[in-house]
Structure 1
Amino acid sequence: MKLIQTVEAEGAVLCHDITQIVRGVTKGAIFRKGHVVAKEDIPVLLSIGKDRLYVWEREEGMLHENDAAEILCAMCKGRHMEQSQAKEGKIELRAACDGLLKVDDKGLKAINGFGQMMIATRHGNFPVKKGDKLAGTRIIPLIIEAERMEAAKKAAEQATGGLPILDLKPFVHKKVGIITTGNEVYYGRIQDTFTPVIEEKMKEFDTELMDHAIWNDDDTKITASILDMIEKGADVVVCTGGMSVDPDDKTPLAIRNTGAQIVSYGAPVLPGAMFLLAYYQAKERDNPRTVAIMGLPGCVMYAKRTIFDLALPRVMADDKITSEELAALGQGGLCLDCPVCTFPNCGFGKGV
């Protein structure tokens, strides 16, 4: 830090806030710590009695907070993101499109455990809209060692395998097939109130309902129907009902008999414990596809939010879900069924 004449301060960096007081009008910082003095700022500074200023004196091996903020931002900025200008060591990232936010937890912890710098993000694996704030980064001191920033960069790269800490996966257009199961619906004993729920949730994404079938509790018919929809081009097949352990419930068997890889039958989420997720490898020569097959328990029909709301955005972004990730939903997997639902602005689905 050094003291200079204000008239010679163009391009200098302020070491502290500059406060302006006008009685009855204003009292506050007119320039903040870290502000780079511009030519037009000098008359303003002189008008409030600042003939001399304390400014940052460049030191070998030290970085100004805004320069360091750019380095920190580069560690976490992934695809389809826009950044704000660095100000007071801070940069914000916003979504450049609708999509699914991914956060590398190991990389995030590596940076935030380093000291004198931080990254705060919204929860990963949740959908975001274009323009939504994704993360904020901050360098804590006015100046920071270049060596520390380089060490942090290496730690982040080691944790993430060289990838950015954040990624935004755009939602993909999907052709959807829905199979409604159950003797009670097939034989007209009750009205199908499940399918409209699925259709409404699909409207939140770029989807095309290409087929819908209703079958009784005959696993051979359900299996054939799933495979038929895949052959017609379905990217996602949703089977509603028939997911419990009752003797008449054959949907899990039907999905298994397609030859699909079962990720999990059951999830530590309430509502939605009897959820089934599988992936089928369609072997078309010109268009090999991975088709997501979901078996939905009856709670999806009547509960406001369920496991389906946690899995669907990931399916729509081609973000393959693992059994380990489903298992991790146990902490935060209990919906509190609040009188006024604020999902996703609540703890549901936000685990460790």
Structure 2
Amino acid sequence: MKFGPVPLERAEGAYLAHAVHTGARRIAKGKRLDAADIADARAAGLAELVVAALESDDLHEDAAAALLASAAAGPGLTAQPPAHGRANIVADTAGLLLVETAAIDAVNAHNEAVTLGTLAPFAPAAKGEIVATVKIIPFAVPEPLTRSAANSARGVLRLAPFGRRRVAFIQTTLPGTSAKLLAKTAEVTEARCAALGLAAWREMRCAHTANALAAVLAETADADIVLISGASAISDRRDVIPAAIEQAGGAVLRLGMPVDPGNLLCLARIGTRPVIGLPGCARSPRRNGFDWVLERLWAGLDVTGADIACMGAGGLLADVPRTEPRRAAMIH
């Protein structure tokens, strides 16, 4: 691509680099100049214009953006028509965005002229939401460069759609547990699940003992996901909730997660059923580590202890009130 000021007689057919005013008329940036544009510029006293002129192997910014966006948009995603060198990629339905991070980096390493930006990996997206955008920086880029970047971009993005899930929700109680607290926790948790696509909801309650909870867990075989909100926070693998899960024939995959709020989450499985022991912060609708795990399960993704171990980068969630750590006593 050639770029720079040229005399008016050589500007026709090129793309205007910067908007210009010719009396009462404004010629927009990026317009392909025609004879009328040149005549208006001349009448306004201009002798030259700054333009971009495509060469034989160049792709216009819109064509390049469309090519790259179409390659990057995998299942569950659609590349929208380009404009001004930009093509957005949107979600076809509600789900989680899956991103090949290293491949995105490889696309952007091709050349500074080609950019692909996305939401964070595993970000939830609503139907029609923009999850990624391609922006071509100059007015044109060489076609071989664009096709190479598009080949690197193929399959780097896809959407895991949220399904319809049946949930068994168990709350354990101790003497003095507030009925108001139980009702509020159930309301918040059901709303969380309903936002993702709830097929059925069953709430159950039992005493906060391993035996009582194990007995209730035996009644959840018809659920896709089992959620347990304990009357007391889980503090050890031998505590009530992990012990009850094992007593019911399950296995604890991970106790604790490097996400705050959400540290005291318990991830387990009974047969093929995922079981989550909720952290105390899940009583609030504010986003926390529980949402990260629940959304992946709702999108049909397997979640392992190793997956949770990898959630630390970015796991300190912003704009969340935190308890101030106890200060060490001053030594005199």
Aligned counterpart for 2:107 among listed residues 82, 107, 111: 111
Contact 1:272 1:306 in 2 (8 A): yes
Task: Find the aligned partners of 2:103 and 2:37 in 1 and give their Cα distance.
Answer: 43
Letter in 1 for 2:134: T
Residue of structure 1 in register with 2:163 after alignment: 172
Counterpart AA for 1:169: A
Is the partner of 1:274 in helix, strand or coil? coil
Q: Is 2:93 the partner of 1:97?
A: yes
Distance 1:273 1:317 in 2: 22
Counterpart of 2:267 in 1: which secondary structure? strand
Equivalent residues in 2 for 1:64-83 (5 A)?
64-83=60-79
Q: Deviation string for 1:189-217 (max 9, x for gaps)?
A: 53224323212322322114432211113
Distance in 1 between residues matched to 2:202 and 2:76, nearest whole Å:
32
User: Please, which of 255, 274, 299 is the counterpart of residue 265 of structure 1?
Assistant: 255
Q: Which amino acid aligns with 1:179?
A: I
- Letter in structure 1 aligned against 2:91: A
1:278 aligned residue = 268
Residue of structure 2 equivalent to 1:236: 225
Change (3 A) 1:250 1:77: same
Question: What's the counterpart of residue 332 of structure 1?
Answer: 314
> Which residue does 2:328 correspond to in 1?
none
Deviation at 1:15, TM superposition (A): 5.3
Task: Report the secondary structure of 1:101's partner residue.
Answer: strand
1:142 paired to 2:146: no
Which residue does 2:205 correspond to in 1? 214
Change (3 A) 1:248 1:76: closer
Structure 1 Cα separation of the partners of residues 177 and 247 of structure 2: 28
Tell me how far apart the structure 2 counterparts of residues 261 and 5 of structure 1 sit (CA, whole Å): 78
Aligned pair count?
Answer: 308
Q: Residue type matched to 1:199 in 2?
A: E
CA distance in 1, matches of 2:318, 2:149: 39
2:216 to 219, 225, 233: 225
**1:52 positional shift:** 9.0
| Superposition deviation, residue 276 in structure 1 | 1.1
The answer (yes or no) to whether the contact 1:118–1:137 under 8 Å persists in 2 is yes
Aligned partners of 2:251, 2:75: CA distance in 1, in Å?
30
TM-score of the superposed pair, with normalisation by structure 2 = 0.79
Aligned-residue RMSD, C-alpha: 3.2
* 1:265 positional shift: 1.2
Q: Structure 1 residues 44 and 251 mapped into 2: Cα distance closer, same or farther (>3 Å)?
A: same
Whole-angstrom CA distance in 1 between matches of 2:91 and 2:233: 37
Distance in 1 (CA, whole Å) between partners of 2:268 and 2:32 is 56
What residue ranges of structure 1 are gaps of 5+ in the alignment?
Answer: 157-162, 283-290, 340-352
CA drift at 1:174: 0.9
1:273-304 Cα distance to aligned partner (Å, 9 max, x none): 1101234444xxxxxxxx32111122322573
How far does the alpha carbon of each residue in 1:67-98 deviate from its partner, in whole angstroms, 9 at most, with x for none?
A: 22222112321223333322332211222322
Q: Greater CA deviation, 83-92 or 119-128? A: 83-92
For residues 237-262 of structure 1, what are the alpha-carbon distances to aligned partners after superposition, in whole Å with 9 as ceiling and x for unaligned?
Answer: 10111542379941112223444454
Q: Give the SS at the match of 2:311.
A: helix
Conserved in 2, the CA contact under 8 Å of 1:243 and 1:249?
no
Structure 2 match to 1:346: none
Q: How do residues 1-352 of structure 1 correspond to structure 2 at under 5 angstroms?
A: 1=2, 12-14=13-15, 16-22=17-23, 30-33=27-30, 35-36=31-32, 43=36, 46-49=39-42, 56-59=53-56, 61-115=57-111, 116-156=113-153, 164-184=155-175, 189-191=177-179, 192=182, 193-230=184-221, 233-241=222-230, 242-245=232-235, 249-282=239-272, 291-302=273-284, 304-335=286-317, 337-338=319-320
Contact 1:74–1:164 (CA under 8 A) maintained in structure 2: no
Q: 1:153 to 1:258 in 2, by over 3 A?
A: farther
Q: Tell me, in whole angstroms, the C-alpha distance in 2 between the residues paired with 1:168 and 1:124.
A: 10
- Provide the C-alpha distance between the structure 1 equivalents of 2:186 and 2:174, rounded to a whole number of angstroms: 15
AA matched with 1:309? D
Residues 276 and 151 of structure 1: CA distance in aligned 2, closer, same or farther (over 3 Å): same
Within 2, Cα distance between the matches of 1:336 and 1:144? 39
For residue 111 of structure 1, report the CA deviation from its aligned partner. 1.0
Query: Compared with structure 1, are the counterparts of its residues 263 and 22 closer, same or farther at alpha carbon in structure 2 (3 Å cutoff)?
Result: farther
Range with greater deviation from structure 2 (112-121 or 12-21): 12-21
Query: 1:22 and 1:189 mapped to 2: Cα distance?
Result: 77
